[in-house]
Amino acid sequence: MWHLGRHELDEAQRIGGLAKGGQLALFLGAGVSIPAGLPRWSELLDELSDGRLVGDGSGLSALDQAQLLEMRSRDGELGTQVAEIVSRAKRPSLAHALLSSLGAKEVVTTNYDRLYERAVAAVDELPAAVLPYENVLPDRPWILKLHGDVENPERIVLTRRHFVRFDALTRPAGALLQSLLMTRHLLVVGVSLNDDNVVRLAHEVQTYREEYKLHGTFGTLLDLDGHSLRKELWAGQLDWLTLSGDDVVARARTLEIFLDCVSAHASSNQAWLLDRRFKDLLTADEERVAEAARRLYSKLPAGSQTWSGLRATLEDLGAASTYIPAEERRRRRRS
């Protein structure tokens, strides 16, 4: 059903189980939003600069280029321009939709956009609370914006100065990420791990864990770029899964298939199990059991209190939706 390698299938089942058990948190980066039409970092700087940088900005890092742009802009103008560019993307990507279906209650992102929040709202009556701009409410998922948000452009983190001041201004946000690294399994998607602040926070957690002789990884990173050296750097901290594919485009498609598989393993909704329309999702042995269950359902006396519990259970599994007794199916075929 899913064209994935054996290791990918095993990892999808493992991560899906963590999500189903409420142990999975998400850390999302730009790679999740790019398929929705958002620019890469370099493309964003190109659009923002509009000829205001000397030459092509060679010799300056991306953060320093952004710092120069801010120095040449009016107060608050750069954040507003970033928000305008990012706000052009209206529709979440497939990855957003699949990730939102995992039911994670805690999500951290370096993205400015609100696409993941829209994906959550599409499948959940309760929208995600956006931290630090909203209060967390009981039974409501939340998403922490580490680098700012399109609806609050004055606080967007983009320049060298912003990143240097990150710890002084947003220490509680960093502490919240670190608490997830200690208490949840973090699924890292679309993140390149070249953000010095995020790297520092993760290494502080690892140092703390080592001090108290805590073993095992604190998360899984889904790698689209094939960073073998970076994988080596994070050995013992992250389970590093390089997705199959000959190039980034192919691996991005593998990511979508992989997340679909994770979502299936994370689902606690079995309303499809006895629905004949989904029989191809079952093995031959499983379908024989499902057929026997549908046959049993058809023989239960309607209105009987004795069998009402079993009848309700089979209906919750989809027996009532499409069941047609074998005799009736044969009669229909003859007619």
pLDDT tens string 101-149: 999 999 999 999 999 999 999 877 678 999 999 999 888 899 999 999 9
Which residues on adjacent β-strands are paired with residue 142? Answer: 106, 129
Q: Are 10 and 2 in contact (CB under 8 A)?
A: no
Q: Are 165 and 147 in contact (CB under 8 A)?
A: no
**Section 145-155 average pLDDT:** 94
Number of H helices, E strands in the chain: 16, 7
Cα 107 from Cα 116, distance rounded (Å): 10
State whether residue 262 is helix, strand or coil.
helix
Cα 174 from Cα 276, distance rounded (Å): 49
Q: What pLDDT shows up at residue 328?
A: 55
Distances from the Cα of 188 to the Cα of 185, 211, 222, angstroms: 10, 24, 6
pLDDT: is 57 or 48 the higher one?
48
Q: Are 317 and 274 in contact (CB under 8 A)?
A: yes
For residue 40, which amino acid is it?
A: R
**Section 39-55 average pLDDT:** 78
Q: Are 188 and 104 in contact (CB under 8 A)?
A: no
**Domain residue ranges of the chain, discontinuous segments joined by +:** 6-266, 276-334
Cα 51 from Cα 221, distance rounded (Å): 37
Confidence of residue 327 (pLDDT cuts 50, 70, 90): low
Q: Are 219 and 188 in contact (CB under 8 A)?
A: yes
Q: Which CATH number fits domain 6-266: 2.40.110.10, 3.40.50.1220, 3.40.718.10, 3.40.190.10?
A: 3.40.50.1220
User: Is the pLDDT assigned to residue 254 strictly greater than 80?
Assistant: yes
What's the pLDDT tens digit per position in 76-100? 899 999 999 999 999 999 999 999 9
**Section 56-61 average pLDDT:** 69
Q: Are 221 and 198 in contact (CB under 8 A)?
A: no
**What helix, strand, coil percent values describe the chain, rounded to 5?**
55, 10, 35
> What residue spans of the chain are helical by DSSP H?
6-20, 30-33, 41-49, 62-71, 77-86, 94-100, 115-123, 160-164, 166-183, 196-211, 228-233, 248-266, 284-299, 308-316, 319-322, 326-334
What's the pLDDT tens digit per position in 210-249? 999 999 999 999 999 988 899 999 999 999 999 999 999 9
Mean pLDDT for all residues in the chain? 89
For residue 254, which amino acid is it?
A: T
Rank 107-111, 162-166, 318-322 by mean pLDDT and report only the highest: 107-111
